[in-house]
């Protein structure tokens, strides 16, 4: 049974939980592939990862000390800071860590809503895989694409775009778009980021570029907003992929 992301909030760690626990179903769905975590767009490999059980914690203890403090701000008044996670190479744990924070947000939103006597939001967060999103864009904009195939790509593309813009909390994974990205795609990504930064919406950005290099990817105004609103976290070390 997939571990429930609420387990760390219980003294017994959900030791007696069953697949039919209504709170687990609300988080993970009956089979572990539904609920709020699935609707957040998280890849399957990251749907049960939290800061407490993250495999990256051991190799990045200083960063996780910061993230432990960061999630404590979720219940406080005022604006929640964004984060810019970057590394010189892929595979250092950025995406896993960003997903863990997002799951902690979902759990906090759910539990705090219940405590306040409110109905928890169905989609309190969203994870946008920018590379996969770019593939959808290519799937309906390149020349000579059959209309039915173009529609299959364009509909989820714009659906993901709106979810990434509107979600109360979001992860934009790998925003350092490559040089091959078209102006149209860059413009759409710019729109998502601009909407979130203009409205002070907490966002985790991951990238293999330094935050200064974002000035070359986007215009100076948008770069300034990201820089002003996001705390920068540098993931050091080599690739740890395959160790999860």
Tens of pLDDT, residue by residue over 89-117, are: 888 999 999 999 999 999 999 999 999 99
Indicate the average pLDDT of the chain: 90
Quote the DSSP letter at residue 79.
Answer: P
Distance separating alpha carbons of residues 32 and 25, to the nearest angstrom: 8
pLDDT along the chain (244 residues), means of 10: 79 78 91 91 93 95 97 90 93 95 96 95 96 94 90 96 98 79 88 94 95 85 90 84 43
Q: Residues 6 or more apart from 99 whose CB is under 8 A from it?
A: 42, 43, 46, 49, 127, 171
In contact, 231 and 81? CB cutoff 8 Å = yes
Domains of the chain (ranges; CATH) run: 49-235 (3.40.50.300)
């Amino acid at each position: 049974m997939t571990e429930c992301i609420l387990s760390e909030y219980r003294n017994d760690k959900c030791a007696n939980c069953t697949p039919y626990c209504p709170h687990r179903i609300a988080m993970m769905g009956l089979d572990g592939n539904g609920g709020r975590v699935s609707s957040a767009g998280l890849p399957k490999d990251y749907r049960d990862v939290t800061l407490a059980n993250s495999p990256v914690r051991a190799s990045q203890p200083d960063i996780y000390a910061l993230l432990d403090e960061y999630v404590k701000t979720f219940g406080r008044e005022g604006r929640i800071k964004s984060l810019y996670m970057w590394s010189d190479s892929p595979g250092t744990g950025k995406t896993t860590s960003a997903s863990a924070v997002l799951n902690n947000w979902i759990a906090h939103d759910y539990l705090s809503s219940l405590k306040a006597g409110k109905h928890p939001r169905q989609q309190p967060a969203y994870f946008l895989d920018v590379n996969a999103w770019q593939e959808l864009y290519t799937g309906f904009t390149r020349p000579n694409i059959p209309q039915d195939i173009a529609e299959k790509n364009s509909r989820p593309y714009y659906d993901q775009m709106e979810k990434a813009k509107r979600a109360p909390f979001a992860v934009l994974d790998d925003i350092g778009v490559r040089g091959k990205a078209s102006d149209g795609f860059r413009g759409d990504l710019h729109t998502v980021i601009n909407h979130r930064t203009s409205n002070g919406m907490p966002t985790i950005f991951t990238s293999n570029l330094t935050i200064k290099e974002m000035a070359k990817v986007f215009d100076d105004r948008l770069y300034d907003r990201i820089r002003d609103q996001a705390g920068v976290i540098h993931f050091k070390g080599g690739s740890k992929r395959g160790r999860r």
